[in-house]
Structure 1
Amino acid sequence: MSGNRPTKILSVKDQIAEQMRSDIISGDLAPNTKLNEKELAERFGLSRGPIRDVILQLTKEGLLVSKNNVGASVNSVLDPSLQKLMISLRRNIEVFAIEHLKDKLTEKDFVALEKILADLQSAFEREDFTEVTKIDISFHNYLIHKAGGDDLVNIWYPFVMRMRLNYKRITSGVECVNEHVAILNALRSGDTATAVKGLKANIR
């Protein structure tokens, strides 16, 4: 239940995109699954126009791949060597972000980030691993947006979403939450080097 979270007003398209992200992250929509616009339109009770917009959005995010005359499908799992490259690129972007956060985080930001980690803990306790993944991503997204705005987020986001297709469930809740707490504590005390070290340990 997300009753304790601030209510975000999502457009219908955003809600459908969010549902499809969950389906892909959870594996309900497996890699290489072909999407049928007509079936999706029927499932969500919409015309095909908004469904096309959602498919375009998720293609930009790296979750779907669209080919002319073939339609869209869930992106494939990365080859191990490409996954390694993706991890390295994502790590570099996030280290860049951490190094550009000095004096940018206010007390309000730290409260918001602590709330994200409380939600992460709660999702682990419910064993809702799809939600765990989404909350984990939102923590990193918050820091990246604070460091470099939409420009940096738009560079980073496809890496993190595409990498997710390779992951099996994150099952070690304590370790995962503790890694994020360590990053947050280092940022709070202005210790960039320790924050970078914690981040590198978390992205693997």
Structure 2
Amino acid sequence: MAAAKPTKILSVKDQIADQLRSDIIAGDLAPNTKLNEQELAKRFGLSRGPIRDVILQLTKEGLLISKNNCGASVNSVLEPKLQKLMINLRRNIEVYAIENFKNNPLTEDDVTQLETILDELQGAFDREDFTEVTKVDISFHNYLIYKAGGEDLVNIWYPYVMRMRLNYKRITTSSECVEEHRGILQALREGDITRAVKAIKENIK
């Protein structure tokens, strides 16, 4: 019998940040929506101090933008030229990460963890929970980025992926999205870095 997957314990602030992330990804908090600290504190039953910490965290991630004397608001949608630039920057970071696996290949445990993430991705598609699809998709790439370059590389990469969101308009079926990711994983498992780089480039558009 396989060992049960450990439950990740999130702090209250992490739970709030995750909920607000979901609200933004789902469109419940639309671009340019101003956040009210007092209303958020009331919603989550906390003082304004932890709410400020969460707002700062999401600002660093690129989901929010803060201006002096104006508070924080949901970041605007990127114009097409900037979106294209952001995609290129993200792609370059992920190719760099993939190439690092030449000397530090994935372990069987890594492969198992990533396969579990892909099962979760398929499950989210099956439930038509596209907010969760986005978050699980990001977690797959985050795993690879962290494995390749640790927190330093994640901190460079993460604001790009959160700012640009993910483009599912080009995906025609859930199986297409999941298979793209399985192709990346299979190439890495076989140590075929050239094929893995090609697969990651095709996935990030």
TM-score normalised according to structure 1 size: 0.95
**Percentage identity across paired residues of the two chains:** 78
CA distance in 2, matches of 1:27, 1:83: 18
* 1:35 maps onto 2:35 in alignment: yes
CA distance in 1, matches of 2:69, 2:60: 18
Partner of 1:145: 146
CA distance in 2, matches of 1:194, 1:181: 12
Partner of 1:188: 189
Q: CA deviation at 1:105?
A: 1.2
| C-alpha contact (below 8 Å) 1:77/1:165 kept by paired residues | no
CA distance in 1, matches of 2:192, 2:106: 13
Query: Unaligned 5+ residue runs, structure 1?
Result: none
In 2 relative to 1, CA 169–193 (structure 1 residues): closer, same or farther, beyond 3 Å?
closer
| C-alpha contact (below 8 Å) 1:31/1:165 kept by paired residues | no
Letter matched to residue 154 of structure 1 = N
In 2 relative to 1, CA 187–165 (structure 1 residues): closer, same or farther, beyond 3 Å?
closer
Aligned residues: CA RMSD:
1.6
- Number of residues of Structure 1 aligned to a counterpart in Structure 2: 201
Partner of 1:122: 123
Describe the superposition over 1:46-98 as per-residue Cα deviations: whole angstroms up to 9, x where unpaired: 00000000000000000000001000000000010000000000000000000
Query: Unaligned 5+ residue runs, structure 2?
Result: none
Partner of 2:159: 158
Q: Which aligned runs of 4 or more in structure 1 are off by greater than 4 angstroms?
A: 165-171
Describe the superposition over 1:5-63 as per-residue Cα deviations: whole angstroms up to 9, x where unpaired: 53110000000000000000000000000000000000000000000000000000000
| C-alpha contact (below 8 Å) 2:134/2:166 kept by paired residues | no
| C-alpha contact (below 8 Å) 2:105/2:188 kept by paired residues | no
Q: CA deviation at 1:129?
A: 0.3
CA distance in 2, matches of 1:156, 1:142: 12
In 2 relative to 1, CA 104–190 (structure 1 residues): closer, same or farther, beyond 3 Å?
closer
Partner of 1:55: 55
TM-score normalised according to structure 2 size: 0.94
CA distance in 1, matches of 2:168, 2:30: 12
Matches within 5 A, 1:66-85: 66-85=66-85
CA distance in 2, matches of 1:17, 1:139: 19
Partner of 2:15: 15
Q: CA deviation at 1:196?
A: 0.5
